[in-house]
């Protein structure tokens, strides 16, 4: 032992000029990404300062499609980052292998998967684009999509997905999300135009043909494209000049959007709803327009009426599956109060 | 807030062998860059180093940066690859740090439940060499990089105990 103390062992020194290192606690998933041969570019984002968000703004770490909240954890211990060097001390001539502390960390960063649904952030910041009696009711935010998404503390993949699901669009220098009411009108116009032009929506068609047919309606073309992209089949290239809608997704979208547009309104008869729904889809799709297609997204307040259940006008089943239980229940209460008052 | 790019700039595991010769720690603790973690309860106090920045010429700054204080020695009393083989990990249970002549800290080597990524501000000069001269012009923006993933640390969680000049066996 004595020899080990004097001869063996590894010399340990502390550098005078300590460097700055931050320690990131890596969850298994992230570790896998970082250990890969070609690790993707990660990024650190945070919500815009002063954002009207109820939650305190965390910085987040984003992979291409996942988001982790960063939480700083203080440690009372001295945590050194050490590096092997060759050092000579005192009057020594020959430098000896030494482990040198080159940084001292007082805190580590924990990573927690962020669980806030992506669309909630976008809903909060995007102004609603509403069309009432052919009059546009919308106040622009003067921000491009890129500017808006830069302030969303989420990964790019999640931002894009939420943007697509909300059918958000850029128009005249601002970004908007359409109201359910607007979406119903746009969809109706698309449906009518497709009928008139003989376009089969669930087969490949030129986006421009439909756009020019809708020219007179006065919708921002970007809004129509947003709807078409939001309902496109998974393999459809969103950048291409062709469109092709996913039939079940479109039927689902029409049903939920019709209900969403009636949210908080007068009683909606189930039979009337089903009729309208079928009217709004191509003949070939009509047999799909059943309540079963929007399972879990509606409720039947009475035996003859129907209403939207909480959650947004989801266009995809994945969004429906992850619909936030918190806000849905609160909205339900809101509706219940509304109905109680009407009686 | 614009997002800050966070690069992953680790050396490949193959370069472990390159640094191994200069890394005196047991191979299990080696990382491609040589960086490792050492944790101890409390702080190390040592006399303040006279700063001679005013009189130091710029040429000397590299020497200045290299300055360090020798604190003590790390001893791995159970580490004996010749006797127990390279794969043996029982030595991890005991690590000593001798501080000066008369104090000893007892600790151990621990595998981290969640490995730590070492993150630092990106050094631009190094990037140019490594990435084959991809120019990022005029951006004074901050960029970060993860330079290493550390899976083990040496922890000294107990108080230092006095040891005599002659160490008991």
Buried-exposed string B88-123: b where 16+ CB fall within 10 A, e elsewhere? eeebbeebbbbbeeeebbebebbeeebbbbbbbebe
pLDDT (0 to 100) of residue A341: 55
d(CA B129, nearest CA chain A) in Å:
18
Tracing tokens 């211990």 back to the chain, one arrives at A77
CA proximity to A243, closest of A214, A203, A284, A281: A203
The phi, psi pair for A215, rounded to 5°, reads -55, -40
- Look at A10 and B74 and tell me if their CB atoms are within 8 Å: yes
pLDDT (0 to 100) of residue A117: 80
Report domain extents, chain A: 11-113
d(CA A332, nearest CA chain B) in Å:
35
Could you give the 3-state DSSP secondary structure of residue B156?
A: strand
CA proximity to A215, closest of A193, A230, A200, A239: A193
Cβ(A228)–Cβ(A244) below 8 Å: no
Tell me which chain A residue has its CA closest to the CA of residue B39. A79
Cβ(A206)–Cβ(A214) below 8 Å: no
Q: Which of B1, B116, B169 sits opposite A48 (nearest CB)?
A: B1
- According to DSSP, the residues that pair with A128 across neighbouring strands are A177
d(CA B1, nearest CA chain A) in Å:
5
Burial class (CB in 10 A: 0-12, 13-18, 19+), B50: exposed
Q: Between the CA atoms of A328, A329, A332 and A337, what dihedral angle is there, to the nearest 10 degrees?
A: -140
Q: Number of CB pairs < 8 Å for A and B? A: 188
Q: How many alpha carbons lie under 13 Å from residue A165 in its C-beta half-sphere?
A: 26
Q: Which of A1, A15, A27 sits opposite B169 (nearest CB)?
A: A1
Q: Which of A84, A98, A144 to mutate to test the interface with B (most CBs of B within 10 A)?
A: A84
**Do the bridges between strand B95-99 and strand B68-75 make them parallel or antiparallel, or are there none, so unpaired?**
antiparallel
Residue-by-residue pLDDT tens, chain A, 343 positions: 333 334 468 888 888 888 889 999 999 999 999 888 888 899 988 776 655 444 555 789 999 989 999 988 888 888 999 988 888 777 777 788 888 899 998 889 999 988 778 888 888 889 999 988 778 888 888 889 988 888 888 898 999 999 999 999 999 899 999 999 999 999 999 999 999 888 899 888 998 989 998 888 889 999 999 999 999 888 877 777 888 999 999 999 999 999 888 887 778 889 999 999 999 999 889 888 888 888 888 888 888 888 887 643 333 333 334 433 444 444 455 555 555 555 4
Q: Which of B115, B121, B169 sits opposite A31 (nearest CB)?
A: B115
- Look at B71 and A79 and tell me if their CB atoms are within 8 Å: no
d(CA B150, nearest CA chain A) in Å:
10
Cα–Cα distance for residue pair B162/A319, rounded to 1 Å:
64
d(CA A129, nearest CA chain B) in Å:
25
Cβ(B122)–Cβ(B145) below 8 Å: yes
Cα–Cα distance for residue pair A256/A316, rounded to 1 Å:
10
Burial class (CB in 10 A: 0-12, 13-18, 19+), A258: buried
Q: Which of B8, B38, B169 sits opposite A42 (nearest CB)?
A: B8
**Do the bridges between strand B4-8 and strand B144-156 make them parallel or antiparallel, or are there none, so unpaired?**
parallel
Buried-exposed string B140-151: b where 16+ CB fall within 10 A, e elsewhere? eeebbbbbbbbb
B27 token code pair: 């191979």
**pLDDT category of residue B155 using cuts at 50, 70 and 90:** very high
pLDDT (0 to 100) of residue A116: 77
- Look at A31 and B73 and tell me if their CB atoms are within 8 Å: no
Tell me the chain A residues in contact with residue B16 when contact means C-beta distances shorter than 8 Å.
none
Tell me which chain A residue has its CA closest to the CA of residue B50. A16
Buried-exposed string A125-146: b where 16+ CB fall within 10 A, e elsewhere? bbeebbbeeeeeebeeeebebe
Summarised one tens digit per residue, pLDDT across range B30-51 is: 888 888 899 988 777 766 665 5
CA proximity to B38, closest of A96, A87, A14: A14
- According to DSSP, the residues that pair with A69 across neighbouring strands are A60, A112
Cβ(A5)–Cβ(B75) below 8 Å: yes
């Amino acid at each position: 032992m004595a020899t080990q103390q004097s001869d063996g062992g590894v010399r340990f020194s502390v550098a005078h000029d300590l460097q700055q290192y931050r320690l990131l606690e890596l969850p298994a998933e992230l570790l896998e990404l970082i250990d890969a041969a070609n690790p993707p570019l990660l990024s650190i984002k945070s919500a815009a300062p002063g954002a009207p968000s109820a939650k305190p703004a965390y910085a987040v770490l984003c992979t291409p499609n996942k988001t982790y909240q960063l939480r700083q954890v203080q440690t009372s211990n001295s945590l050194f980052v050490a590096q092997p060097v060759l050092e000579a001390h005192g009057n020594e001539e020959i430098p000896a292998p030494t482990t040198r502390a080159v940084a001292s960390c007082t805190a580590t960063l924990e990573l927690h998967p962020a669980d806030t649904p992506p669309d909630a952030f976008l809903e909060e910041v995007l102004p609603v684009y509403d069309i009432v009696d052919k009059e546009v009711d919308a106040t622009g935010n003067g921000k491009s999509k890129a500017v808006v998404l830069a302030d969303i503390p989420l990964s790019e993949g999640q931002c894009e997905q939420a943007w697509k699901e909300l059918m958000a669009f850029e128009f005249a220098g601002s970004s908007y999300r359409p109201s359910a009411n607007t979406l119903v009108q746009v969809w109706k116009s698309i449906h009518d135009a497709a009928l008139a032009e003989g376009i089969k929506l669930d087969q490949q068609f030129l986006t421009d043909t439909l756009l020019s047919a809708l020219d007179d309606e006065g919708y921002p073309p970007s809004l129509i494209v947003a709807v078409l992209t939001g309902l496109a089949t998974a393999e459809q290239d969103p950048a291409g000049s062709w469109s092709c809608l996913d039939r079940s997704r479109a039927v689902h979208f029409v049903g939920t959007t019709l209900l969403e547009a009636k949210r908080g309104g007068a009683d909606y008869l189930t039979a009337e709803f089903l009729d309208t729904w079928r009217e709004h889809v191509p003949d070939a799709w009509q047999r799909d327009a059943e309540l079963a297609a929007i399972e879990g997204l509606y409720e039947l307040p009475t035996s003859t009426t129907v209403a939207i259940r909480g959650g947004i006008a989801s266009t995809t089943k994945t969004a429906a599956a992850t619909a936030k239980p918190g806000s849905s229940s609160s909205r339900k209460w809101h509706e219940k109060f509304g109905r109680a008052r009407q009686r | 807030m614009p997002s800050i790019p966070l690069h992953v700039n680790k050396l490949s595991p193959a370069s472990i062998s390159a640094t191994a010769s200069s890394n005196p720690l047991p191979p299990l603790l080696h990382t491609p860059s040589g960086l490792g973690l050492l944790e101890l309860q409390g702080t190390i106090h040592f006399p303040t180093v006279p700063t001679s920045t005013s009189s130091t010429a710029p040429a000397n700054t590299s020497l200045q940066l290299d300055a360090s204080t020798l604190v003590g020695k790390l001893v791995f009393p159970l580490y004996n690859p010749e006797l127990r083989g390279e794969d043996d990990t029982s030595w991890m249970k005991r690590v000593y740090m001798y501080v000066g002549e008369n104090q000893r800290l007892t600790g151990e080597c621990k595998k981290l439940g969640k490995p730590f990524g070492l993150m630092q501000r990106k050094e631009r000069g190094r990037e140019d060499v490594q990435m084959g001269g991809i120019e990022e012009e005029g951006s004074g923006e901050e960029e970060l990089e993860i330079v290493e993933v550390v899976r083990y640390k040496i922890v000294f969680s107990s108080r230092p105990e006095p040891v005599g000049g002659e160490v008991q066996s």
